[in-house]
Structure 1
């Protein structure tokens, strides 16, 4: 990942914070049939994990907080790998056969974890508008994670949340209900503890979706200013059409923030479509996931 786009000088009256979000493609979802353009050897966890590790090691500046989605191999890889780079972590795992989950890592010399909470999005079924939606929500075991942190430098408090919503475009109502449940959990968590909110993840929803509109009624998107006022052209590029072009190219990943209490100070530029499709799509021999990592720098405004 290259350096930040248009970084600003941080105000002495605010707290600087960098947050990264990345769907790292759980190995339990990797099949050669899903990514036929990719060398099968590159899809093996031994090789792909090294690519992912190299991506983090190559960052010019270590983010204060890293949110991961589709995180499996947590105990056998991610926990120790991130610890070797100076990070502590918390993890929320699905309970189904596909045992991936979401994780939040942070630099302990910069932030102290005060509280955390796992969010089970199937509990959204309790408020479903009808029995059919409730049944479909219960069938999905997507999870979220919320943590409250305090700066070791100036005592500023923040709340970081991450989630990975259900994937199916045909079940937009499930994703919207999951979003509402996650937002309610964040609001409840923050109401009793306080802190500026950051909400990052793979929302499996395009910028014109009800999910995006619902979230941005409360929070702003860090990358919404990218390329002159819109979201990036894509954050996910995978699959293959008959003509060899990618089957899907679109924006599904976001870092949202509390616009009243936080300013964006810089954004990391993203991979171009030409780079992403140099071997058909993602992942490939050089990139370990079918998603792009997002990285933003913020200033948490000083309390009045």
Structure 2
């Protein structure tokens, strides 16, 4: 059945939105007025570490804890605490984050790992995550379970284990965090990014019920801080320090919107000479000036344009995107830039469900009773997600928690819609009829998506059973299991079975005579580099030739500092270009196998050399590291220093696809990725990882076999007659930004 025209139009419109917002839009965000940052500097130094509460008493979402009548009292609550819980509100970029930082407190940011790569780009993500992970600080799951109890008590001490809490490290990281804020997060920083002319005209809506828009007002403050003459279509006099709220009508007479914290009274009265309120009929500002349109309160830009002048800049401060027009000639700034990818699998199933004859009536009569309303649309969406989850589990073994989360949201809404106003608020604009609902769901269908595999194949030269080597080194399995002519077919079948787009292999020693020709016949191209070792194996990267073009390659030997070693490990750095790219952005894939020894310090040095090479080579392109790090220890060390390779990659901003997905959704990372059955005993560890840079996201991973079942069936462990290597394959379904997107 061919798709209806309205369905095709809807997909096309969202296709355009997704690539345009990445290609044309620039991230922006909230900010802190410079005068307030300077004014509250003594407050940030008022309490000593040992005098502070563990966590501030304000609990997001618990109105009982919102009991501060003045800005000073509110900020003192933060300043007298080590941490304050914060999280996503309407959007990821929430004013609370900035108020916490203004007071010198550390934001304990729930789900910080989920923040889209192009939202809140000027935020100290790495420093905040390191502060949240200091020894003695409770984890997110524990705190989430305690939120209700915290809201009932003003005592938030006892949550941090002060006996192991590293005070000096906290102070060092906190100082670095505040230094970052002062350099990157003030209003003047965001205003300077607009590159506006000395005179600016800001065109935006306002209502008596809610005269304020946070992002807009903070930009007004920043523009005046940087010396601009500002003309507005709304009265923003509340940004001046001599503003008197008591004389205004309701709701202002009952208190400023959001209590006026942060944005209100941010500029000295002398700046009033830079501020002009424009009303229709007034003369336009003297040329030249920049014409800026902004959104307001999750509503679109103004439709009309004054002065018969082209709009120069559009600023979208909304929590969710809407179908509002944006002139291509203008410079776009968006506060919430989503990646448009996380719904791709549910969306594909849902597209087929929605593409039914009954819904074609919407093409002719969009207001027809046959077009689904919000409730109907949620039911269809629920059905599509349920089908997707069932099919994935039966055919691929994927665990895809994003779909499960959406299902829970929908089920809660359908069961008791009156108790879930947030659901209605988020989706009403986008899902009140079939076309709008389709636009929102179909946005994921334009993503370039890839399954990415990491595999230690066990080099032929290292595959020896115990009779052929000393009993301390050989595998327990029979020699026939390790015969290359047998194993190579199993390895090839394993690689091809998962239909990966990018493959990283370690311990490869038959590249020319097996891997390259066999995988080339299956549609792959590849590259290989042998390590400097008597074993003569190395690492390889393969990619599907119909999806990626080959870019520049770089190989590096990983030495011990400046000392040249006889058996240096090697890394391959391969740039790939998505076939349909329309921008200069590529993807850098790295395959690496770190040294197997008891010295984690050595491996951390190797990882440091690798990260330095990646930073130099990637030129800000997204990166995928397919690695056997040979490091048994996982994240969560009680020491403050970086104890292992996993910690080092995390500190450098890389996410392990398995661990990151597991932490987000209450699941653990793999219990093991190698379970070598040596003649001398078992070696079981999680040594293999798929690390990704911050702009890439894992939406599903392939589970490893159940450990108890493997132990029962294969007393020889790995390798065995069914598993050709002592390591297991890792597969991640990664969301890679659309090649047409910047």
**TM-score > 0.5 by shorter chain:** yes
Contact map agreement 1:276 1:282 (CA 8 A) in 2: no
Match of 2:610 among 173, 182, 185: 182
> How has the CA–CA distance of structure 1 residues 141 and 222 changed in structure 2, closer, same or farther, with 3 Å as cutoff?
same
> How has the CA–CA distance of structure 1 residues 54 and 15 changed in structure 2, closer, same or farther, with 3 Å as cutoff?
closer
- Structure with higher Rg: it is 2
Paired with 1:178 and 1:216, the residues of 2 have a C-alpha distance of 15
Paired with 2:474 and 2:707, the residues of 1 have a C-alpha distance of 17
1:165-197 deviation line (CA, Å, top 9, x unaligned):
00012x212111101001111111013xx4211
Higher helix share: 2
> How has the CA–CA distance of structure 1 residues 144 and 108 changed in structure 2, closer, same or farther, with 3 Å as cutoff?
same
Shifted more, 208-217 versus 222-231: the winner is: 222-231
Q: How does 1:1-304 map to 2 (within 5 A)?
A: 2-6=396-400, 11-12=444-445, 14-33=447-466, 34-59=473-498, 62-122=499-559, 124-126=560-562, 134=563, 138-155=565-582, 157-169=586-598, 171-191=599-619, 194-206=620-632, 207-208=634-635, 209-217=643-651, 218-224=653-659, 225-226=661-662, 228-240=666-678, 247-259=682-694, 261-277=695-711, 278-280=713-715, 281-301=717-737, 303=741
Paired with 2:517 and 2:709, the residues of 1 have a C-alpha distance of 30
Paired with 1:107 and 1:63, the residues of 2 have a C-alpha distance of 8
Paired with 1:7 and 1:74, the residues of 2 have a C-alpha distance of 37
> How has the CA–CA distance of structure 1 residues 2 and 183 changed in structure 2, closer, same or farther, with 3 Å as cutoff?
same
Higher strand share: 1
> How has the CA–CA distance of structure 1 residues 36 and 141 changed in structure 2, closer, same or farther, with 3 Å as cutoff?
closer
Q: CA deviation at 1:12?
A: 4.1
Contact map agreement 2:528 2:538 (CA 8 A) in 1: yes
TM-score by length of 2: 0.37
Contact map agreement 1:113 1:149 (CA 8 A) in 2: yes
> How has the CA–CA distance of structure 1 residues 36 and 93 changed in structure 2, closer, same or farther, with 3 Å as cutoff?
closer
SS at match of 1:102: strand
- Per the alignment, residue 129 of structure 1 pairs with none
Shifted more, 293-302 versus 90-99: the winner is: 293-302
Paired with 1:99 and 1:5, the residues of 2 have a C-alpha distance of 37
> How has the CA–CA distance of structure 1 residues 36 and 12 changed in structure 2, closer, same or farther, with 3 Å as cutoff?
closer
Q: CA deviation at 1:241?
A: 7.2
TM-score by length of 1: 0.86
- Higher RCO (CA < 8 A, seq sep 6+): 1
SS at match of 2:481: helix
RMSD: 2.2
Paired with 2:465 and 2:730, the residues of 1 have a C-alpha distance of 26
Q: What are structure 2's unaligned runs of at least 5 residues?
A: 1-394, 404-442, 467-472, 636-642
Size of the aligned set, in residue pairs, is 285
Contact map agreement 2:670 2:703 (CA 8 A) in 1: no
